[in-house]
Amino acid sequence: MSQQIQVSGLDAYYGKHKAIEDISMTIDPQSITAFIGPSGCGKSTFLRTLNRMHEVIPGARVEGKVLLDGEDLYAADVEPVSVRRMIGMVFQRPNPFPTMSIYENVAAGLRLNGRYAKSEVDGIVEDSLKGSNLWNEVKDRLNKPGAGLSGGQQQRLCIARAIAVKPEVLLMDEPCSALDPISTLAIEDLMAELKSKFTIIIVTHNMQQAARVSDRTAFFNLAGQGQPGRVIEMDDTSRIFTNPAQKATEDYITGRFG
Partner 1 sequence: MAAIAVFLVVEAVPALQANKGSFFTTLTWEPNGTQSFGIAALAFGTLVSAVLALVMAVPVAVGVALFISHYAPRRMAGVLGYVIDLLAAVPSVVYGLWGIVFLVPFMQGPSEFLNTYLGFIPLFGGDVVAGRSMLTASVVLAVMILPIIAAISREVFLQVPRMHEEAALALGATRWEVIRTAVLPFGRPGVISASMLGLGRAMGETIAVALIFPATFGISLEILTPQGNSIAANIANGFGEATPIGRGALIASGLVLFIITLLVNTAARMIVARRKEFSGAAA
Q: Which of 158, 187, 218, 231 binds partner 1 (CB under 8 A)?
A: 158
Residue 44 interacts with Mg ion (CB under 5 A): yes or no: yes
User: What string marks each residue from 13 to 52 as x (binds ligand ATP by CB under 6 A) or -?
Assistant: -x--x-x-----------------x-xxxxxxx-------
Min dist CB 14 to ligand ATP, Å, is 3
Residue 147 interacts with partner 1 (CB under 8 A): yes or no: yes
Whether residue 4 contacts residue 41, with contact meaning beta carbons closer than 8 Å, is answered with no
Q: Which residues, at least 6 apart from 140, have a Cβ–Cβ distance to it below 8 Å?
A: none
Binding to Mg ion in span 103-132, by CB under 5 A: none
Pick one of ligand ATP, partner 1, Mg ion, none as the site partner of residue 14 (Cβ within 5 to 8 A by kind).
ligand ATP
Q: Which stretch binds ligand ATP (CB under 6 A): 12-20, 183-191, 194-202, 231-239?
A: 12-20
Reported as type and span, the H/E element at residue 3 is none
Whether residue 80 contacts residue 52, with contact meaning beta carbons closer than 8 Å, is answered with yes
Q: Which residues, at least 6 apart from 86, have a Cβ–Cβ distance to it below 8 Å?
A: 51, 68, 167, 168, 169
Of 105 and 221, CB closest to partner 1: 105
Of 11 and 126, CB closest to Mg ion: 11
Which string of DSSP letters, residue by residue, matches 18-44?
EEEEEEEEEE-TT-EEEEE-STTSSHH
